[in-house]
Amino acid sequence: MPHDANHPRPTVVFVDDAPWESFFQLAVILRKAGIRTVRVSVGLSRWQIDRILFDRHVSLSFPPTPEQLSKILSNEFITDVQPTESLGMTTYAAVSLLPPSQRSDLWIGRAAFLDKLRVASDLREFGLRTPDTLLADVTSPIEAVAQLSLPIVLKRRVSSSGSGVEVFYTLESLQEFVAKVENPSEWFFERFILGQCLVCASCVGDDGIDVIATYEILKRVKLRGSSIEVEIRDDARIADSGRLLINAMHIRGLVCFDVIRDADDIDWIHDVNPRAFGTLSTCQLGGFDFFGAYIFLLTGRGRIEPSRLDTMGAKTFVFPYGMKEAFRSEPSWNSWFRTLHWTWRYGRLLGPRYFLSLAIRGLVFSLRKNWKRLGFRRRSPFTRSVTAPPPTELPYT
């Protein structure tokens, strides 16, 4: 839809190569606020119910070049972009090709935080602790284990949501994996730190941090993957590290970073994500107005509600990932009660369109699962394209 050149409608562009629940939830909130939303999905099937959550949806079979993506966005007024890490550099380059009158500068500086190895180096320069790292293309597994010990982490330099993160407990398994890596320069070794998994989430406006929250991740979908259960905390030390980091980063928008607190009570930052994060809606209902702060940053309109502290120490499952965990770990009656409670609270926040999408995605997941269980090998209309990543266990990721 072309915009009025005199009064352009602000647009947030989401670029992904897998369904991201935080993008879906943020999109419906932005649409309710009158902000246009555009999604560009790469390598996924063209039939996606998620498209009803966006004003415009573009499906691509293969990753675009910056020039191709810029052409796709040429009729939009880009207020901000929310890409996954694997498509971040392409997205930022594409937006930079648009004329300045057609885009904001909110995204400036985020590209520097895509490469996890570079981020680790920058964190040390900021005076923050991060696990020791070694380049995989110039360090053998034997040398890496000798310097970093076992267990040891092998990470892809650009990855997200726990993909491209492997933990090895024996030298033999590490050597076997590294031998199969096609491009060692895209990977690095990292010292394994055992401890509490903490997160500092924030929305940074033009004048600094508008909202900041800290929480502990109690359960994940998989190692370093999406959160299932969290506990909201008032951790002043993590928040102070967050302010130091954000002041040094010089970026705006939604930002979160992961911290491991070891047995000696030492904090180690191991990941920085300048984009929408998975617990965005959970924090919102926990009393932290991230949606209001982000909309204010985009439009200059509205009011940011002051953060509430009455939820500190509260443990909560992250919606919708935690529904399956609730039925698995709690009595049936309590799981149904929790589900109804979630539906009411998140329904008020996200609206019926989001829940319609969620219900249909769950139905499609069940159909696909039953189709495979019956042994049918013919391609289902719900099967992802060959360029898509393999489906996960959950229907929401």
We report the CATH number of the domain holding residue 84 as 3.40.50
pLDDT band (50, 70, 90) for residue 380: very low
Rounded to whole angstroms, the Cα distance separating 384 from 391 reads 8
Q: Residue 145: which CATH number?
A: 3.30.1490.20
Residues 185 and 209 both lie in one domain:
no
pLDDT band (50, 70, 90) for residue 57: very high
Residues 40 and 72 both lie in one domain:
yes
Task: Answer yes or no: is 115 within a domain.
Answer: no
Last residue of a domain, one of 191, 216, 233: 191
Task: Answer yes or no: is 380 within a domain.
Answer: yes
Q: Pull the structure tokens for residue 201.
A: 């989430």
Mean pLDDT of 226-250: 88
Residues 223 and 264 both lie in one domain:
yes
Task: Answer yes or no: is 159 within a domain.
Answer: yes
Q: How many domains does the chain have?
A: 3
Please give the residue that has the higher pLDDT: either 56 or 375.
56
For 300, 362, 378, the CA distances from 104, given in Å and listed in that order, are 13, 37, 47
Question: Is it the case that residue 395 has pLDDT exceeding 70?
Answer: no
Q: Residue 222: which CATH number?
A: 3.30.470.20
Percent of the residues in the chain that have a pLDDT greater than 90, as a whole number:
56
Last residue of a domain, one of 147, 162, 191: 191
Range(s) of the domain holding residue 20: 1-108+351-390
Query: Using one digit for the tens of pLDDT, what is the confidence trace for 269-291?
Result: 988 999 999 899 999 999 999 99
Mean pLDDT across the chain, nearest whole number? Answer: 85
Residues 9 and 90 both lie in one domain:
yes
Task: Answer yes or no: is 288 within a domain.
Answer: yes
User: What per-residue string of b and e applies to 35-68 under the rule 16 or more CB within 10 Å gives b?
Assistant: bbbbbbbbbbbeebbbbebbbbbbbbeeebebee
* Distance in Å from the first CA to the final CA of the chain: 29
Q: Pull the structure tokens for residue 180.
A: 């199969």
Q: Please calculate the CA angle 271-276-279 and round it to the nearest 5 degrees.
A: 80
Residues 2 and 15 both lie in one domain:
yes
Residues 294 and 377 both lie in one domain:
no
Residues 218 and 308 both lie in one domain:
yes
Residues 23 and 82 both lie in one domain:
yes
Residues 88 and 51 both lie in one domain:
yes
Last residue of a domain, one of 167, 191, 215: 191
Classify burial at 114, counting beta carbons within 10 Å of its beta carbon; exposed 0-12, middle 13-18, buried 19 or more. buried
Q: Pull the structure tokens for residue 145.
A: 């284990």
Mean pLDDT of 196-214: 94
H or E element that contains 66 = helix 66-72
Residues 162 and 70 both lie in one domain:
no
Per-residue pLDDT, 5: 47
Residues 296 and 207 both lie in one domain:
yes
pTM of the model: 0.85
Per-residue pLDDT, 228: 83
Query: Using one digit for the tens of pLDDT, what is the confidence trace for 117-175?
Result: 999 998 998 888 999 999 999 999 999 999 999 999 999 998 876 678 899 999 999 99
Residues 22 and 43 both lie in one domain:
yes
Rounded to whole angstroms, the Cα distance separating 359 from 382 reads 15
